[in-house]
Chains A and B, each alone.
Chain A
Amino acid sequence: MISFESVTKRFPDGTTAVDNLDLEVPEGDLTVLVGPSGCGKTTTLRMINRMIEASSGRIVVDGRDVSKVDPPELRRRIGYVIQQIGLFPHRTIGENIATVPELTGWDKRRTRDRVGELLELVGLPAEVRDRYPHQLSGGQRQRVGVARALAVDPPIMLMDEPFGAVDPIVRSRLQDEFLRLQQEVRKTIVFVTHDIDEAIKMGDRIAIFRQGGHLEQYAAPAELLAEPANDFVADFLGAERGLKRLALVPVSAVKAEPGPVVGPGDDGRRALAAAEAYGGDWVVVVDDDRRLLGWASASDMAERGRVGDLEIRPFQLQVQANDSLRAALNAMVQSRTGVAVRVSDGDRYEGIVTLELLSREIS
């Protein structure tokens, strides 16, 4: 655990970067520090490993006041990843990753095994080990940066806009990979970004800072979006706060409606009645095992004939319990039916999710 106790940082030119900060970072969580530039988030991060010294107050890491620990020793137990990565251009990828083990005095064999393990962990092929950093792509270099920070398995990682320098597609993939990795390694992570969407995606908890180093709100992403503490936080979260919240809530959070369901053997009259009872002009068609076949339009339903003779159209998008409500919303706006169909095991029909259910959940 990392705790800030009334920490202030004033620079020699008189600017206050961090103002009387109290913050507790729980063990095993990914805590995001977010805010506009000049809000002190990077300064806050760098005070943890004493790259910047606090002017007053105390920072305690695992029960020890950091100001009482020799900086090189402190830093070797704290992983550090920055946007520019800062790989050593004169060392191979293997040597780069082996930096902290070497500083800590591991023997050669143990270091070599660990490097192999880390390359695999971050998803890099073994043959990059003997290459130099300039021979790798930006995304690969970023992975090496993460592997290097993880080398001695430090309990704490500090990450300063770690995915800021790669293109959006690679960034999104690196974020997903890192979240998966974090599930596995469960480090205590402090993560700095200026991108609120990244903060919401990555953070177990988010600390929102404002210029001058004031902490405005510190909460879990869903709580932050539901109840912003003040106008600054609400503004920073952006006008699409509702949408962002939807992204955090799983489909399983709302109870799906049964919907107008018919089988292919039912006759048209019955289907039309079901559609009318539901208040729409379409029905969901499922087989005897309740496997989803598609939907049929009421305008196709003749007075005679069976549902099986109608044109049954597929639902292009379907959602499952662990998808987000945002995915459900997307499915709704893309379907002529205006609802999202929920399935399990690929095609077993579970019900429909409507816009009304969504807005009830959000408001």
Chain B
Amino acid sequence: MSDGPPPVLAAELIRWSWVGFHLDDIRDDLLQHIQLTGLAVLFGLLLAFPLSLAAIRWPRLYGPVLGFTGMLFTIPSLALFILLIPFTGLSIWTSLIGLTMYTLLILVRNIVEGLRGVDRDVREAAEAMGYTRARQLWQVELPLALPVIMAGIRIATVTTIGLVTITALIGQGGLGQLFLDGFTLNFTTPIVVGIVLSALLAFVADLTLVGVQHRLTPWARSRGR
């Protein structure tokens, strides 16, 4: 048995009185985190859809589109935010633009693969029944591509939740703000709270998306019965 009393270490890892005192701040950080994530994924979808449809319509575009969004994905996040500051300053747009760019690779790839994965016979039958192109996309192909698209949205969401913590460095940090506080004060409690909450947020977000997918795809439920 060692001499050091472990309870003291635990007590220093998290001091509940600080948590109680900063509940409002923590809540604001959490809400901002959710807001940044939600908006980034939403804007990502709004951009990824037309890009994906173009890549399907003109298959030669698909390579370059993937290459470009892949390149965006490889830019170190901190560098990207700093590069954006001259254009958008320290506003919420700086983090949103960066976060949105990171979602594009995953979303475009999953939307394109999802739509391409729709059974050829089903598409042909739809065409032969007299669907117009737009209606066929909306009523037949998108619903059938949904599982693959949702998988992309889930990965994009969880990735974004992680990335948001970094944007604290440009003053738009969500829960990342707690990390900064912890580092500046040399005090572990905010860091632990931040880690636990962002992990929990990622978990809950993923679970929610699974639930949404389940509701949207009733036909998949009876499988394997």
Contacts and interface: CB of A to CB of B under 8 A. Distances in A.
Given A80-B129, A132-B219, A90 B124 contact: no
Interface string B120-142: 01101111111110010000100
Nearest to B136: A72
Given A86-B119, A88-B140, A132-B219, 18 more contacts: A72-B132, A74-B130, A75-B127, A75-B130, A80-B125, A82-B121, A82-B125, A85-B121, A86-B128, A89-B119, A90-B144, A90-B217, A90-B219, A103-B130, A132-B222, A134-B219, A134-B222, A135-B222
B222 to A, nearest CB: 6
A18 B2 CA distance: 90
B162 interface: no
Q: Closest 8 A-B residue pairs measured CB to CB?
A: A86-B125, A76-B130, A75-B130, A84-B121, A80-B128, A86-B121, A72-B130, A90-B219
B131 A51 contact: no
Contacts of B124: 51, 82, 86
A327 B210 CA distance: 61
B60 interface: no
Given A80-B125, A89-B219, A100 B130 contact: yes
Contacts of B57: none
Q: Classify chain B's interface size.
A: 20 to 34
Contacts of A223: none
A86 B122 contact: yes
Contacts of A88: 122, 125-126, 140, 144
Interface of B: 119, 121-122, 124-132, 135, 140, 143-144, 217, 219, 222-223, 225
Interface string A78-105: 0010101111111110000001100100
A29 to B, nearest CB: 21
A220 B128 CA distance: 29
A337 interface: no
Interface string A57-82: 00000000000000111111000101
Given A84-B121, A85-B125, A135-B222, A90 B143 contact: yes
A105 to B, nearest CB: 12
A99 B122 CA distance: 13
Among B126, B128, B223, B225, chain A packs the most CB atoms within 10 A around the CB of B128
Interface string A280-312: 000000000000000000000000000000000
Interface of A: 49, 51, 71-76, 80, 82, 84-92, 99-100, 103, 131-132, 134-135, 148, 158
A232 B190 CA distance: 86
A71 B127 CA distance: 9
Contacts of A87: 122, 125
B144 A51 contact: no
Contacts of B144: 88-90
B131 A72 contact: yes
A360 B80 CA distance: 92
Contacts of B135: 103
A103 B121 contact: no
A137 to B, nearest CB: 15
18 contacts: A72-B131, A72-B132, A75-B128, A76-B130, A86-B119, A86-B122, A86-B124, A86-B125, A87-B122, A87-B125, A89-B122, A90-B143, A90-B219, A99-B129, A103-B135, A131-B222, A132-B219, A135-B225
Nearest to B224: A134
Contact of B127 (A51, A73, A89): A51
B136 to A, nearest CB: 9
B223 A134 contact: yes
Contacts of B143: 90
Contacts of B222: 131-132, 134-135
Contacts of B217: 90
B123 to A, nearest CB: 8
